[in-house]
Amino acid sequence: MFRIILFVLIFSANSLFSQIIFNTSYHNLGDINKEDKKYFDFTLTNAGKVAANIVRIEEPYGISSRFSAKTIEPDSTITVRIKYTPRRKGTFKQDIPVWVSVNNEPITFTIEGNALTFDVNETMACPDFVRIQKPVEERATLKINVVDVNTKKPIKDATVEIIWDGLVYKKVTTDKLGDALQNLQVDNYYLVVNAEGYGSKESDFSLDNLNNSIQFELGEPTKEEILAKEEPIIVEPIIIPEPTDTISTLELPVNLYAPNNVVFLIDVSVSMKQKGRMDVLKASMIELLNGLRPIDKLAIVTYASSTDVILESEYVTNKAKITQLIQDLSAGGYTAGAKGIKKAYQVARDNFMKDANNQVIIATDGAFNLEKGDKTILNDVTANYKKGVFLSVLGVKNEKWTVSSMSAMAEAGGGNYLHIESFAQAQQVLMNEIKAKSRKK
């Protein structure tokens, strides 16, 4: 048992020091002619504390690649340029696995498109970075200031976690002036601040050269926060599997929990961009993913102006790929929940597993108009529940007035209404729900 615990601690520590973050893992070149550009630049950032090396890249026929560097130093970014050279007309889709020294699994880039014309004499070599200007990465220095809410005096040694696309990117402490400075890529981040005796606060932040400072005032919690802290927290005991068990995770031992067929239905409408909602949702999804097993299936469906299946239902055997898909999620468009729910149920039914937990989890910040246009949603939810597919609803920093309709949907689907307001809550809420539904009788 000690060896297992030690292994888990070492593995977890290594993961913290070797996080690899991508701008995207997929690109569609669209319709291309022989004179068009046929390559795309992916970026790879080392958010860890040890250097990472490109070990190997697998190039299917027609694919060539080039790296701006083969070593990714801590807090640095390299470019991975991938080119496809068609030898016939028609659609194409190629997966390109890349092995990095700090990862146990390859990172898979996907490139696809439709060749309208082609040149049989075109070289398959990937264009050099010297001949084609490399895009300049825009960076800015973020200043974080932490003070006492009552005295306005600086708080020294406050801990600041800088979260980027659902993963902890940096962890810094404030100096005697209550300041912490970090030079970062211009992007959206989520900040979590803690100080002993002061509690914690968190906020989303969009960093650029004009908007580059934020202040946190820490102090005594409000009455609402005190009530929230007094609510009982049920923590299930961690049961460590036997050494011969290669399937269980610490969260889901196979002797206690049945297989899961989970479909995430994610609201990616424009309102999910606000208040750091996508950041805490990504963190929650990644935390759940880390606890799933190879016997569990996972699918991801998004909805806004359109409904898209981002991840077809598959067994959880390549967590690196799925993590990147989660990190790539972005919000925009208007909300159209009814079509999304129908698609999510279809995916769940098509991959239905006997003697297992078949469950759709919808994550949103909005409400469903159950009295008018969305009235038929409840009928669909109830019908699918009778067929063995549960529905739970996750409210992501949602307003109080939305709780009623979300709870009604969850009740009709035989699941639960869940809520995440903070990064700390995001760490466990989804896993607790899966454990409750998949626990063997």
Residue type, 234: I
Q: What pLDDT score does 367 carry?
A: 63
Distance, in Å, from the CA atom of 360 to the CA atom of 107, rounded to the nearest integer, reads 27
Q: How far apart are CA 274 and CA 188, in angstroms?
A: 11
Cβ atoms of 430 and 288 closer than 8 Å: yes
Would you state the pLDDT for residue 160?
93
Residue 406 identity: M
What tens digit of pLDDT does each residue of 137-171 get?
688 899 999 999 888 999 999 999 998 877 888 89
Average pLDDT of the residues in 349-376: 80
- Average pLDDT over all residues of the chain: 83
Grouping H, G, I as helix, E, B as strand and the rest as coil, residue 176 is coil
The alpha helices in 153-292, defined as continuous H runs, are 223-230, 277-291
Is the pLDDT score of 358 beyond 90?
A: yes
Read off the pLDDT of residues 52-99 as tens digits, 9 standing for 90 and up: 999 999 998 889 999 999 999 887 889 999 999 998 888 999 999 999
DSSP string, 303-339: ESSSEEEEEEEEES--HHHHHHHHHT----S---HHH
Helix (H) or strand (E) holding 157: none
Pairwise CA distance, residues 233 & 169, whole Å: 28
Residues 6+ apart with CB under 8 A from 377: 337, 338, 341, 368, 370, 409
pLDDT interval class at 437 (50, 70, 90): very high
In tens, the pLDDT along 195-252 reads 998 888 889 888 988 899 999 999 875 555 445 445 555 555 555 554 456 788 889 9
Determine the 3-state secondary structure of 172 from DSSP.
strand
Continuous segment of H or E residues that includes residue 374 = none
**Where does residue 166 fall: left (phi above 0), alpha (psi -120 to 50 degrees), or beta otherwise?**
left
Which structural domains are found in the chain, ordered by start?
2-115 (2.60.40.10), 139-230 (2.60.40.1120), 260-438 (3.40.50.410)
> Is 3 strand, coil or helix?
helix
* Contact predicate 269/366, CB 8 Å: yes
Cβ 279 vs Cβ 287: under 8 Å: no
Side by side, the strands of the sheet bearing 71-72 are 26-32, 107-115, 90-100, 52-57, 71-72
Whole-number Å distance between alpha carbons of 202 and 193: 6
Task: Tell me the whole-structure pTM to 2 decimals.
Answer: 0.62
Q: What is the pLDDT of residue 376?
A: 76
